Structure 1
Amino acid sequence: MNFQPSARQRELVVLAGDLARTQFAPRAAMYDQQASFPFENYADLRQTGLLALCIPERYGGMGADFATYCLVSEEIARSCGATALTFNMHCSTMMWIGPLADELDMSPAERQAHESRRARVYQHVLENGHLYAQPFSEGHQNRSGRLIFQCQAQRTEGGFRISGKKIFASLADAAHYFGVLARLDDDDDDGDDASSIHYLAVEANAPGVSIEGDWNPLGMRGTVSRDLVMQDCFVPEHAQLLPEGIYQQAARRWPHMFLTLAPTYLGLTQAAYDFTVDYLSGRVAGGPPSSERIAPIKQYAVAEQLIRLEAARALLYRSISEAGLDPAPEALRRAFAANRTVMETATQVTADAIRTCGGRSMLKPLPLERYYRDARCGALMQPWTADNCLERIGSSVLPAPKGTMSP
């Protein structure tokens, strides 16, 4: 397996990294303090063309594939976790309807209709700089912790009528469209049947759409993930992001599509490690004297952080290299393991970094306390929460006997 990035991947990582270091990093504390969306960062992403990172080249985009996106996301997260996390929602939408959809089974009529619809989406991004959000959470789960979608869509002339609520809707104040998963209310199920799910683009300023609730969380404050409420909102036929039945095929056959949050948290972990090294090397203003910085216990602690960081990176990169259609069971288990490992490692390394650097390091405006708070959010991120990953690995290795239910 070759884990070395290509020349094109290196080019895009350098582009994103330079932008993030020079523009995003200086603003990150402000967005965190105000719990405000990084509009200025997205203006920079538009100007550099990075909003089109995952739009195929034949449409005028940069043509980044799954692995390339992951490398870019990791690089952005080293400077601003909230920007990287919200950028994931937008880029995932572009990938799902693009190269990922191309690998899935569709009838000729479905593929023709999808081609027309996604061309419209890409045009919105390329010509108008539109952002697409991807809210998942509704607060409903089945016994194993998997999501149950209760937003309802009803067929009507020219499209759908949709009603429901999504919580933690990142980009709530910034998105032009929300990619909403909803079930048809003429399907006789309780919301736990993936075959009833439709993936629709809800326009942010459409009648019946509102953004509600306060936003004052522990971490990832710049994501502005307020509640998205839809009341009998009309969604035109051409706003189907995937043809009927294709989302559930994608979730079943291309499950690595849900691994795209992990690179953000790997980037956060790298940032915490880098800060620790700089702080203990005397390169951060206000740091401790050299007599307190360089001691065997500090050296051991930094070594432990590096080992955890590189172990998480190796597992994630291998899983990224295995992403594709119909992965083997062991590859899917490895993806769950990689996602959970990255999230838990981010929490552990950021906490260890504070302990290693000492009390001064957790004071604002130093970024380490922000890294720690942002990292705490990773294990809760849907759809692959840390606990859900454990359940899926365990049930795959030791399935419950027939006629019984998993706890």
Structure 2
Amino acid sequence: MEFGMTPELKQIQRVSRELALDFAKRAAEHDRDASTPFENYEAIRKAGLFGLVVPIEYGGMGMGMLGYVISAEELAQGCPSTALSFNMHSAVLAALLMTGPLLEETKKKISDLVVGEGKLISATFSEPQFTGLIPSSYACATTTRRVDGGVIVNGKKSFATMVEAADLHFLVAHPEESSNPQETLCAIIPAKLPGMQIDRMWDTVGMRATRSDNVIFENCFVADQYILHDLPVPSLGGWLVNNEHYFNLPYTAVYFGVGVAALNAAKETAWRRKPVGFAQPLAYHPDVRRRIALASAQLDSARLMIYHSAYLMDTEGHNDRTLSTYMKAKYLVGESVAGIIRSALEIGGGHALVKGGPLERLYRDGASATIHHPPSDYCLSEIARLDLGLDPKELQPPVRMA
């Protein structure tokens, strides 16, 4: 299938590749310090990529999912944390502008904030009790209470990626007046509202510069003007499942980029290392050649799956075929990349284990490839459900509900 690398897509690829070369200069430092790469987000803004998925009619580039996954693959090779964080900005925009039931005036307002004013959006919807294996666990404990002119928000959010760098936050919370625990109020709120506090607890194995800290809301007033009244969400879990591929396909492309970077680093290592007394570098060793060949074949297959998924999303929108294809892409990428980065580390040998080296860092950044939502087990479950045509209402919960 021809996915159409148009001149516009090639330009996006070139710009993203140039950004990645710059990001790579600081990636080890940001990883070591678990620091927010403010300068990387500013460079992305100056390159015009904030509006990458914003439709042309709202002033954006209108590159769709295919354009975005091409960009994400390149950015991740320079700094995986930056690419993974920026995904939240574009994922929110894709879910709201490409598929959401928002009124035209609301879509235009959001687009103006991003394209016209250069605002960066993070997503504060994950909570400590959520689990990627059970989407129905996505019932917010963070609540809103209606008051004159808006709502009061109380609660705690986790995995609030890029929160200290963002200008705006996409917030989801449960209205206290609703008896349905899945019902959700959505809002795009300014950063640093009174009553909003960042809990700087982020100290992880990999993706350290995403700064996916906790956010605590204590009697935080959110005015009506920030609430998306035209986005009714009776079930947060259902809404996220219906937008699964828009939120998470770019994540998949980021991890794919980590795999590409690991393979390139392994190739460089194999050519550079020549044992004393031998005329050829390790690139000629049959075991190294086999590992390189396997990784190359897996990555080429994974890239086709990612592009195919993006193509279907851009041409068909949300349907069972699109969702099934995405789940297959995520499973293939997660499992392949997990194996590739381990193999790349083994090609590098003991020297590759030294902290701060590129392979060691990529190994840690890629460690969550199979865990990041949707995790591999959930992907397989959904693939089977969709391919068998099973009615989700007839399936028993994976664990007994209270």
TM-score category (smaller protein)? 0.7 to 0.9
Secondary structure, aligned partner of 2:313: coil
Alignment-derived partner of residue 321 in structure 1? 311
Cα offset, 1:197, TM superposition: 1.7
Among 278, 289, 297, the alignment partner of 2:268 is 278
Partner secondary structure for residue 244 of structure 1: coil
In 2, the alpha carbon distance for the partners of 1:247 and 1:263 equals 30
What whole-Å deviation, never above 9, does each CA across 1:129-185 have from its counterpart, x for those lacking one? 321101332122479522332221233332322221111111122112211121212
Partner of 1:16: 16
3-state SS, counterpart of residue 157 of structure 2: strand
- AA aligned opposite 1:33: R
Matches within 5 A, 1:164-183: 164-183=155-174
Corresponding residue for residue 261 of structure 1: 251
**Residue 89 (structure 1) shift:** 0.6
Indicate conservation of the 8 Å contact 2:158/2:213, yes or no.
Answer: yes
Whether the 8 Å contact between 1:53 and 1:64 is mirrored in structure 2 is yes
**Matches of 1:255 and 1:311, distance apart in 2:** 22
Structure 2 letter corresponding to 1:263: A
Structure 1 residues 402 and 125: CA distance shift in structure 2, 3 A: closer
- CA drift of 1:117 comes to 3.4
Which of 389, 392, 399 in structure 1 is aligned with 2:382? 392
Q: CA–CA distance in 2 between the matches of 1:338 and 1:370?
A: 24
Q: 1:39 is aligned with what amino acid?
A: F
3-state SS of paired residue (2:179): coil
Aligned-partner SS, 2:146 = strand
TM-score normalised to the size of structure 1? 0.87
Q: Separation in 1 of the partners of 2:239 and 2:392?
A: 25
Q: Offset of 1:3 from its aligned partner?
A: 2.0
Would you say the 8 A contact 2:132–2:378 is kept in 1?
no
Report the CA distance shift for 1:180/1:143 in structure 2 as closer, same or farther (over 3 A).
closer
Q: 2:194 aligns with which of 203, 207, 229?
A: 207
What's the Cα RMSD here? Answer: 2.5
1:224 aligns with 2:218: no
Identical residues among aligned pairs (%): 27
Which 10-residue stretch deviates more, 128-137 or 261-270? 128-137
Residue 125 of structure 2 aligns with which residue?
Answer: 136
Q: Distance in 1 between matches of 2:95 and 2:10?
A: 23
Counterparts of 1:373 and 1:254, CA distance in 2: 28
User: Judging changes above 3 Å, is the alpha-carbon distance between structure 1 residues 242 and 63 closer, same or farther for their aligned structure 2 residues?
Assistant: farther
Question: Using the alignment, how far apart are the partners of 2:394 and 2:82 within structure 1?
Answer: 45
Q: Does the 8 Å contact 1:179/1:241 carry over to 2?
A: no
> 1:241 & 1:269 partners in 2: Cα distance?
38
Give ranges in structure 2 of 5+ residues lacking alignment: none
The alpha carbon displacement at 1:380 in A equals: 2.6
Q: Verify the 8 A CA contact 2:267 2:283 in the aligned structure 1.
A: no
* 1:309 counterpart residue number: 299
Q: Is the 8 A contact 1:200 1:239 kept in 2?
A: yes
**Aligned position for 1:123:** 112
Determine if contact 1:131/1:175 at 8 Å carries over to the other structure. yes
Of stretches 56-65 and 11-20 in structure 1, the one that deviates more from structure 2 is: 56-65
Shift of 1:213: 3.7
Q: Structure 1: where are the runs of 5+ without partners? A: 105-109
Question: How high is the TM-score relative to the length of structure 2?
Answer: 0.88
How far apart in 1 are the matches of 2:117 and 2:392?
51
CA apart distance, 1:187: 1.2
Query: What secondary structure, in the 3-state scheme, does the structure 1 residue paired with 2:124 have?
Result: coil
The aligned residue for residue 107 of structure 1 is none
**Per-residue deviation, 1:208:** 0.8
